[in-house]
Structure 1
């Protein structure tokens, strides 16, 4: 069995000096002579001394740990965002504590509480699709734990966030389909609780009206992003008296579910129905039928910018809570990418 690492008190007793002298010597404090420093450091190494990180963190008032709460790590979008967050945190000597809400508002609330109890210095969050009450995030202000939201942004004021411009992305998507000759364009949107759902809808309406086309609210159907709900949304659109020839879907996963169901309904996806989606994830390269275009949301860039903002907030964390604080509101430009089957 390896020897148990020695403590500062044990080293002090063996050298017949005070524990504070040993502590200062280990940190190369100028008040301790070089000879004493070398003796302490040599014995500490021989006895496998390891600093008590908990005590150090307590002394410095920080743990050098940030928390990340996101809906699903299995989604390629969030995996890319987490890679950027970890890369950024590593450069600043921070550890990342990762958790998934699985799109459950209650679990998200519990995770926020656990992150607080683990004394994370700050938090990065992409909210669950079912979250409607955001008090659990406001609670963190009492503990001076800064929060930066990314991608899925809660519809509340005075928050730091990084998001992709979904409104302009929607305008690009609808304009693209109009240029391809479509006039009846449907949308399978996300839950109304997500701010991004509202942005997609606004972009859709603006694109239609700017092209002097009447907006038909029955051509926009919301879903909870599951396969079953997407199938129901598709069937609702297909049953519309203005059955669409093209559909904009909330993301690539919804597009995948809708395309799969359309094929089961024997719909000709080359002639009768086309799809445009969001995220431009790698999975579309493995689909038999792919969306004709996808709105790139740059997940790595979003994650990187969100982590950079949190690091900046942690540097200025010591400022008085009474000071007026400026909130970071970063919008990443989206880009429509035309997909071509290989």
Structure 2
């Protein structure tokens, strides 16, 4: 494998000049830089990242810890952040915790050991853990940004979507269409993310009594199956709500199947609103009305903040940024 010395010898320059040229130093002429980069490509030279880090240089790698990668929301978050990082010549390393706090802590340690320049932590649900992580990373000089944490008072940089406001918008939308009873369809992961509590607060924000609205969360399955089975429970009752908000789109899709199987019409008999604006919602037999979180905006703001923290530009500042979701009105309401 070619070394930096090989590149320098073929270009007839010193090793330090070759290194500076490959790192984009303005002190090296454009002609020399083009020549050295061309030779490096011809020799298939790959920089030794570990050696660079040991020499005090950045790895140009940012890590992201997510609770799952098989949902539209987190896959979109990962893709958006990676796209923004690549614009700045950074790479993204991904760790999946499966909503396990021990795996979250382990992923954090692994990132520290791999000389990560900064870490995004998505949907951590334990405030004490978040504070501990932030202190631990500070000792290593690694900035932490919490994404969509659903937590108040955590002493680290945070960017989150105001889901309670989004729920309030959804409730108001259903009230405008004449619905007086609204139910919430959830699963055990949504419970951890506090979305049922946000729904109850949204009812209060719209002058409704949460005690008169039913929340059912499936405790053993997720996605479309959870929505299908929970809606069957709702419809088996002598009296049930005429409108529903789902914890996320996959749950809404399963619920829609249960509604149509029961001979009921959407939205004439039952209206439903999803959450997170997944890929499938716009291509259903009835296009799904849903709350759309500004994931691309979160990525742009997050990466910009991360790069400033890495460079030390905003070292002593703590940002708490809240983004507003959009209600996409389609055919299910």
TM-score w.r.t. length of structure 2:
0.78
Post-superposition offset of 1:274: 1.3
Does the alignment pair 1:24 with 2:21? no
Distance (Å, rounded) in 2 between the aligned partners of 1:274 and 1:310: 41
Q: Is the Cα contact below 8 Å between 2:184 and 2:199 reproduced in 1? A: no
Post-superposition offset of 1:173: 0.9
Post-superposition offset of 1:189: 4.3
Aligned length: 311
Say which of 74, 80, 84 aligns to 1:78: 74
How does 1:180-195 map onto structure 2 within 5 Å? 180-189=177-186, 191-195=190-194
Q: Which has the larger radius of gyration?
A: 1
Q: Give the match for residue 339 of structure 1.
A: 330
CA pair 91-182 structure 1, distance change in 2 beyond 3 A: same
Misfit runs of 4+, over 6 Å: 9-12, 44-47
Q: Give the match for residue 205 of structure 2.
A: 206
Deviations 1:247-288 (A, max 9, x none): 111111111122223334444434322101222223112323
CA pair 278-5 structure 1, distance change in 2 beyond 3 A: same
Say which of 116, 119, 133 aligns to 1:137: 133
Q: Is the Cα contact below 8 Å between 1:246 and 1:274 reproduced in 2? A: yes
Q: Give the match for residue 284 of structure 1.
A: 281
Calculate the aligned-residue CA RMSD, in Å: 3.6
Post-superposition offset of 1:54: 2.1
Say which of 50, 55, 60 aligns to 2:51: 55
What SS does structure 1 have at the residue aligned with 2:180?
coil
CA pair 145-10 structure 1, distance change in 2 beyond 3 A: closer
What SS does structure 2 have at the residue aligned with 1:303?
helix
Q: Is the Cα contact below 8 Å between 2:118 and 2:144 reproduced in 1? A: yes
Say which of 101, 120, 135 aligns to 2:116: 120
Q: Is the Cα contact below 8 Å between 2:53 and 2:115 reproduced in 1? A: no
Q: Is the Cα contact below 8 Å between 1:101 and 1:128 reproduced in 2? A: no
Structure 2: 5+ residue runs without aligned partners? Answer: 22-28
Does the alignment pair 1:109 with 2:105? yes
Compare 245-254 and 69-78 and name the one that shifted more.
Answer: 69-78
Compare 235-244 and 67-76 and name the one that shifted more.
Answer: 235-244
Compare 145-154 and 116-125 and name the one that shifted more.
Answer: 145-154
Q: Give the match for residue 214 of structure 2.
A: 219
TM-score w.r.t. length of structure 1:
0.76
